[in-house]
Amino acid sequence: MTAKPSISELQEKVKILERELAGHKSIEKLLWEKQDQLFKVLDSLEAIVYVADMQSYEILFANRYAEKLFGHITGKECWQVMQSGMTGPCPFCTNKKLVTTEGKPKDSILWELQNTSNGRWYSIRDRAIEWFDGRVVHLQIAVDITDRKGAEAALQASEEKFRTVADFTYDWEYWIDDQGSFNYISPSCERITGYSVGEFEENPTLLLDIIHPDDRPDFSRHLDEELNSSKVCHLNFRVITSTGEERWISHYCQQVHGYNKKFLGRRASNRDITEQKKAEEKIKLNEIRQAAMLKLYEMHELPDKEVCNFVLETSLPLTGSEIGFMGFLNYDESQMTIHAWSKSVMIQCKIHEKPIVFNIADSGLWGEAVKQRRPIIINNYKSHTLKKGVPDGHVRIVRFMAVPLFDREKIVALAAVGNKHREYDEQDVKQLQLLIEGMWQIIKRREAERDLINQAELIKSFTNSVSHDLKNPAIAILGLTRILRKKYQQLSREKLENFIDQITKSSEQIVLLSEDINAYISTREAPLHLKSLDMKNIWQTIRDEFEPQLKKREIEWIEAESIPRIRADQNGLLRVYRNLVDNALKYGGSNLNEISLGYKASGTHHILSVQNDGEIIPPEDFETVFEVFSRKGGEASPPGTGLGLAIVREIANHHKGNSWAESDAEGKITFYISIARNL
């Protein structure tokens, strides 16, 4: 058993307890004195200060400022008296954020709130503290910031108005301070240049870097002028966008100063005037082209070559090009003959023997305009897959544009230019097309004028020839009939039959001439009746017609082994072969041993031919034999109307083709006629 303490021991313990109790009372007194001092300090603050129990939400203390606003609230639940419309603890209460999971105080929280009771804004500092009785409580200090909030709202509205004006301006605006750094750049910089605000801010030299190299000296002079002038300065210059596009900028800038006249830098406004510049350039180019057209019409008496040279030299500034050429194509578009080189080509080109005639089939990029039958633009010649290279000494090509000239469906000429500083576009194509079309109209007008003169001469010749050809047999008939009238009873039967034969032949000659004249006129005026023809049948028909003469004279008839069906006018083709074979028989004489019918195809035409080994035609007469009333051999030649080959040419022209004659080394004469494939 434990021994009981003695009385003396008990008395000693009582003394110890009395001393401890006295200490607690002094501490309690001190605490109440400090609490009173704390409350006095809190009461003096121009802010809401209150302390609430974190479990019951009971307000343990509220300073005078709080009670002035909300009345006597000590002892009441904070959510009931500090806010309005609450049915329980406030949803924005910070109690849980102020203590750890163990209930220990954490760092304070600073936040803002608009009070639902009085509508005013407060900056609130919440924290958990240990209260005088040892429990952890919620201390809140709320400073009224309603006026500040109003000022902030006004400032925000002002800034929003500024941003709306500045950020949503269509032009590119910026403000550079006195140190050369951007204070502000409008977002429209990206629309115009392709570079964002951030890229300009990160790279102070970007503004100068994107200016076109040719315009940088002007821009540098402009900056010097701006720094030394209080006036608004203006400059138009080009920039290169992030995608490599060239854009024109109309730039206005001026110095800016603060309210105390302190220099704050430069304010600039940049407007994209690319479309305006394009329109101005288009107007300028149109003026150049119109002036060139007027000059062209004044050149109607000059040779075609001079006209071509003028058009080509005009096309260079019109398209911004450095080099160019112009060529004309032959009837089947298989060859091109150069009619004009630009002066710059003649200077730069080091090729000694410059070719004039080019085969389209062997051509490089320039020939694609003919092959594809459309304008060709090559803005990166070096890497283009269709290029075939150029010979040593050839002009260096960077960019290239070729434009074909059509007369109806046929390409008659090709204009090509190259080495523009910028890329070629459809506007360049249009300008060049209009120019060469104007040239072609002048050339055609000249041809029409020449044709009118020729037609007048032809009509005169035609009239004289008809008069002559009709007069001779008519005189013969008249003379013979007069003799018969006077002496028919005195003439022998043999003499009478001879006179009758002469009258018959003269009459037949008049009838034949009349028929050929009608055929020639109808060939010129009658429409074509096109259909797909079996050419072997056409040839057989012609052979059957001339079979008696062929057999009698032992002339060999030769036909090409194969020939496709051809879309043409059947009567027209029969007349072509009839006239050509008849000519061979008429003018071949005793030397004629064979007549050969041939065929070959070209890119756009069928080529038909009739060859004989009897006719003799000097090469200088190959073209004139197709003229009206042209007779091989003159008056001494076999009789004919002189319209046979003229009719052949008219039929060829009606079929969008041509006719011509050639001779080979053996002296054989071949007559050709071409017929368009696209009839």
Question: How much is the pLDDT for 352?
Answer: 46
Of 458, 445, 408, the C-alpha closest to 650 is: 458
Task: Give residue 157's identity as a one-letter amino acid code.
Answer: A
CA angle 365, 371, 372 (to 5 degrees): 95
Q: Identify which has the larger pLDDT, 629 or 377.
A: 377
Q: How confident is the model at residue 600 (pLDDT cuts 50, 70, 90)?
A: very high
Cα dihedral 337, 343, 346, 349 sign: negative
Task: Give residue 340's identity as a one-letter amino acid code.
Answer: A
In the structure encoding, which two tokens stand for residue 639, read together?
Answer: 């009789």
Q: Which residues, 6+ apart, have CB-to-CB distance to 628 below 8 Å?
A: 458, 461, 462, 465, 520, 642, 643, 646
Write out pLDDT tens, residues 618-666.
877 777 777 765 555 444 444 444 677 888 888 898 888 999 988 887 8
Least confident of 238-252, 393-407, 414-428: 393-407
Q: What is the DSSP letter of 77?
A: B
Q: How confident is the model at residue 512 (pLDDT cuts 50, 70, 90)?
A: low
Strand (E) or helix (H) holding 577? helix 570-588
Write out pLDDT tens, residues 493-505.
777 777 677 777 6
Strand-strand pairing, 172-176 and 376-378: unpaired
Strand segments (E) across 221-313: 233-240, 246-257, 263-272
DSSP calls for 267-289? EEEEEE-HHHHHHHHHHHHHHHH
Place of tokens 């070959």: 600
Task: Please report the domains of the chain, with CATH numbers, ordered by start residue.
Answer: 22-147 (3.30.450.20), 169-272 (3.30.450.20), 319-525 (3.30.450.40), 527-676 (3.30.565.10)
Q: Which residues, 6+ apart, have CB-to-CB distance to 633 below 8 Å?
A: 587
CB 315 within 8 A of CB 344: no
DSSP calls for 333-354? SSEEEEEEE-HHHHHH---SS-
Write out pLDDT tens, residues 67-97.
999 999 999 999 999 999 999 999 999 999 9
Q: How confident is the model at residue 217 (pLDDT cuts 50, 70, 90)?
A: very high
Q: What's the average model confidence in pLDDT over 185-193?
A: 91
Coil, strand, or helix at residue 675?
A: strand
Of 61, 93, 56, the C-alpha closest to 77 is: 56
CB neighbours of residue 68 within 10 Å: 10
Q: How confident is the model at residue 304 (pLDDT cuts 50, 70, 90)?
A: confident
Q: What's the average model confidence in pLDDT over 1-15?
A: 60
Q: What is the DSSP letter of 465?
A: H
Q: How confident is the model at residue 229 (pLDDT cuts 50, 70, 90)?
A: confident
- Residue 244: which region, alpha, beta or left (left: phi > 0; alpha: psi -120 to 50)? left
Any bridge partners for residue 569, and if so which?
530
CA–CA dist 607, 332 (Å, integer) = 10
Q: What's the whole-model pTM score?
A: 0.46
> Is pLDDT of 7 > 60?
yes
DSSP calls for 499-541? HHHHHHHHHHHHHHHHHHHHHHHHHHHSPP-EEEE-HHHHHHH
CB neighbours of residue 48 within 10 Å: 22
Q: How confident is the model at residue 104 (pLDDT cuts 50, 70, 90)?
A: very high
- Residue 194: which region, alpha, beta or left (left: phi > 0; alpha: psi -120 to 50)? left
For 51, 72, 319, 665, the CA distances from 76, given in Å and listed in that order, are 11, 9, 90, 132
Question: How much is the pLDDT for 633?
Answer: 46
Q: Which residues, 6+ apart, have CB-to-CB distance to 465 below 8 Å?
A: 628, 629, 642
> Is pLDDT of 511 > 80?
no
Write out pLDDT tens, residues 20-68.
555 444 444 544 456 677 778 888 888 899 999 999 999 999 999 999 9
Q: Identify which has the larger pLDDT, 193 or 445.
A: 193
CA angle 369, 375, 380 (to 5 degrees): 85
Q: Identify which has the larger pLDDT, 176 or 564.
A: 564
- Residue 186: which region, alpha, beta or left (left: phi > 0; alpha: psi -120 to 50)? beta
Average pLDDT over the chain, rounded to an integer:
82
Coil, strand, or helix at residue 608?
A: strand
Q: How confident is the model at residue 270 (pLDDT cuts 50, 70, 90)?
A: very high
Q: What's the average model confidence in pLDDT over 567-585?
A: 89
Place of tokens 């109607």: 300
Q: How confident is the model at residue 385 (pLDDT cuts 50, 70, 90)?
A: low
Write out pLDDT tens, residues 520-548.
666 665 677 899 999 999 999 999 989 99
Q: Which residues, 6+ apart, have CB-to-CB distance to 659 below 8 Å?
A: 626, 645, 648, 649, 652, 671, 672, 673, 674
Coil, strand, or helix at residue 470?
A: helix
CB 324 within 8 A of CB 311: no
> Is pLDDT of 388 > 70?
no
Q: How confident is the model at residue 105 (pLDDT cuts 50, 70, 90)?
A: very high
Any bridge partners for residue 139, and if so which?
51, 127
Question: How much is the pLDDT for 387?
Answer: 57
Write out pLDDT tens, residues 314-372.
888 888 898 899 899 987 888 998 888 888 765 565 444 555 788 888 888 888 999 99
CB 115 within 8 A of CB 122: yes
